[in-house]
Structure 1
Amino acid sequence: MASSRGWWAGLRGRAGLGGEGPTAIARQAAALLAISGLVAVLALAIGSPRPGTLVAIAVTDLAAAVVMWLLPWSRWPPLAPVALAPLALAVLGFSTWAFGGVAAGTGPFFVLFFAWLGLHFPKWVTWALSPVAAVSYVVPLVLTGQPPDVVGSVAGLIPVAVGVAMVINVRVEAQRRALVELAGVERWRRALTSAVAHDVRSPLSTIQLFLEMLRDDDLPPDKRDQFLESALRQSARLGRLASGLLDLDRVESRGTLRLELTPVGLRKACQEAIGFLNVPGVVVEVPPELTVTADPQRLEQIVVNLVGNAAKYGAAPIEITAGPAPGDLIWLGVRDHGAGIPDPDRLFARFGSYGESPGAVGLGLWLVRELTRAHGGEIRYEDAHPGARFVVTLPAAT
């Protein structure tokens, strides 16, 4: 059984029937027409009162299938195969008439036709073609003089076929969304692994260097204290990295973060945060009297992520400004002087993108939004002309 499935999968791949591109979609329609032509040949072999008509149907179906198969669909838009629908319905109508109005001969192909629509096209295509399908089904029945109950069967067949298309379309859309999500998770995993390796290696190397220097007995006391302080700062940086990774898990699994709120001087917090980034051209224009109620570590993450994004995707100078906002809030803005963001709709979405960097994880601004909301604030994007500006609001210290 497994070998037969593998054989069929290999055949389908070589024939180009798999996938979702225009070529695969058109070739699937060609396969359905070819099957219809073979059914006509089979009916001819077992005897029919209209052999000439069946020959015409078989030749038309097979010729149309060959043309559909060979056309350069990859050069045309994704919806181009919709143009095949009228031809397919015309062939089905003609086949119904050729079979003497026996709807059972072509009814399954109407259902297959709508299944093909639901598999590959938006819902509006199915709704738009359903009246055309009803006409192509009813007219041959009327022309062959079928009784009203047979003609009225269109009220059952077409709605069922449309329902099949809708069910398939819903399932396909759900699978496509799941695949997009999985691709985002995989992209996040690769980029996060690379980022963590880089962020861990740098402070570890610094700590190792300082520890090796501290082994020197002739090191002056002031230098010894300086190296110890630097090593402690780098170890604290590693701790913050670990806490940031735990934050991601807490937000995703429980939707909440535990904050240690305390009055924090905003100017000093911004200056300390940018000290970890080694980014030139950052200007802090925050009044020294502004104080917010925040978790110092989470506030540092907010500033580091915003300034890091501005440095990565924007251009100097990077300006950090702040001021009072309505509702006992304080706004904090980070602006760069780059090209701005042409499409900001998904900036704060999980796996959203700030820029076009292939190494972008797509979690920085999402985490900033979650951290800001946990404090009772919000974040917004503004076009700075030139550049991009992100503004967060935090509660003022009382």
Structure 2
Amino acid sequence: MRFMAAYDMMETARNTNAWLGATARTMASYPAFALASSPGFRMLAAWGEVTERTFQRMIVKPDWNIPPIPGEDGRDHQVDVETVVERPFGDLIRFTVQGRAPMQRRIMLVAPMSGHYATLLRSTVVSLLPDADVFVTDWHNARDIPVSAGKFDVEDYTLYLVEFMKELGPDTNVIAVCQPAPLTLAATALLAEEHPEAQPATLTLIGGPIDPDAAATDVTDFGRRVTMGQLEQSMIQRVGFKYQGAGRMVYPGLLQLSSFMSMNAETHATAMWNQILAVANGTAADHDKHNKFYDEYLAVMDMPAEFYLSTVERIFKGLEVAQNRFSVGGKTVDIGKITNVAVKTVEGGKDDISAPGQCVAALDLLTGLPDEKKASYLEPNAGHYGIFAGGSWRRNIRPLVLDFIDANSGKPDRPARRTKLQAV
């Protein structure tokens, strides 16, 4: 499958389905059919609308679309997105609230590079902005990165995080969500040893596979069953000539999406059918619950092949972080070197991606960190998404994370301003 033809075939299939949906919607919406007694035309138009939107969203990066933030002056303040550090494979961006003075809390959200854009953390950003200045690692779609930019694997990812944290300085509070948790832990350890003056004040790891062997899931079982050769042959393709990254080896977003959806195929099929009925009945809306979820879920990005393969080989199969054997540039990174960065882990009791036990394993690796600087929290009824963006995050986890940041910021006079968020 490591050929451009395979990549282009998937893109052709996606493009064809989007075209079929647009054609069906247009044809079934002719005014001449309005007087027809059969509801078939209305159903065909609805099917076309949902199908076109579904397949078109797969190649579009969602907008951040952050709403205005209420200020203490009683006014709503617009939010701008600014690039702080620009790099070929990802940028460090900042959400600047116009007319607001710098906040005492500075939070760097480390977004996953796991198939979806950093906009997956939009609701997380919205929930934190009233009480903090927020920065996010905004990873780029590998299909748009020229081959001349070189490789990007787990070591490069770690060095990017080191650079971003050095840019922000020691007053930063880092929150790593899911996949980047082990690499963020390694980056913090690297800073502790080589640039201790640039270490963050706190590190919060949410639902990350620090030790994949601590609790089995479908993800860890898959990584154990499949050999690296099988993985490379079945998952890796070359970007076609349509994009700037033509020739780059990637794990295509469309292939990732097919894997995501196959895990809950019946649920997704039911959701799509219900949406077709809603469109046909006139009860659907452009930003209803279905579209808000699937506009983000279906927007996938290609991953650099070397990053995907090295993640499976070194984090899941080799357990290099879990066994404190991870190395960057031939030098072993000792997690025990972290001695004064407060670390908190957050897990979901119903997380089927990073099951309880995988993330909290980080605390055992922090042999040089006093117990009073370690914390953990388990949200019993939360799934994977809920612990960083759902109701569990808004109601329970977010306040605890902010309290943890305040308690370990080194600034006891920090005002405990906290914005209450309505539970949804």
Into which bin does the TM-score normalised by the smaller protein fall? under 0.3
The alignment's TM-score, normalised by the length of structure 2, stands at: 0.23
The structure with higher relative contact order (CA 8 Å, sep 6+) is: 2
More strand by share: 2
The alignment's TM-score, normalised by the length of structure 1, stands at: 0.24
More helix by share: 1
Larger Rg: 1
